[in-house]
Amino acid sequence: MNDYAHLRLKDRIRPGVRVLFVGINPGVRSALTGHHFAGPSNNFWKLLFESGIVPERVSHVDDDRLPEWGYGITNIVARPTPGVSDLTLTELRAGRTALERKVKRYKPEIVALVGITVYRALFPRSGVVRPGPADHRIGDAQVWVLPNPSGRNAHYSYAEMVKAFRALGRAARTR
């Protein structure tokens, strides 16, 4: 057995968050550090600041501060893996149910899915998916799709990622 399979990241959510960021599952580095989006090539934290979502530069070690600014963070599946292909359909289905419970409990206005893969895992019959507001809801929350901020994401330029995160920030501020 690997040395990370038993690890689980804590959700960083509290009642009243405006936006709940949702990843698909923790990567190995995140599991080992105990912090969300901890991969060295992951731009999530940099994008939060550069888009104006958070007021200061933060990194993965600051993930517990997100609720201070009205944001929360969780994953569909709690089990860490080296890649999304290691997840099972059963895990993804159970994760959707768990996410629906979290949305009902914490009542975010927006559920921001961090990556098109996350969106497709939750809404598998969807057609073309683009960053921005989606036609779906989870509970009473509007669903937004963000580009995957991983350095391995070759589908979107960094400038396109900043643009998508800025649009989410504007939507969160106007609610």
Report, as residue numbers or ranges, the catalytic residues. 25, 36
Sheet holding 132-138, edge to edge: 71-75, 19-23, 110-114, 141-146, 132-138
Q: Which residue has the tokens 């599946």?
A: 77
Q: How far apart are CA 79 and CA 81, in angstroms?
A: 7
The closest alpha carbon to 146, from 30, 63, 51, 68, belongs to: 51
Q: Apex CA 106: angle with CA 31 and CA 39, to 5°?
A: 20
Give SS3 for 136.
strand
* Residues 6 or more apart in contact with residue 71 via CB below 8 angstroms: 17, 18, 19, 20, 21, 53, 54
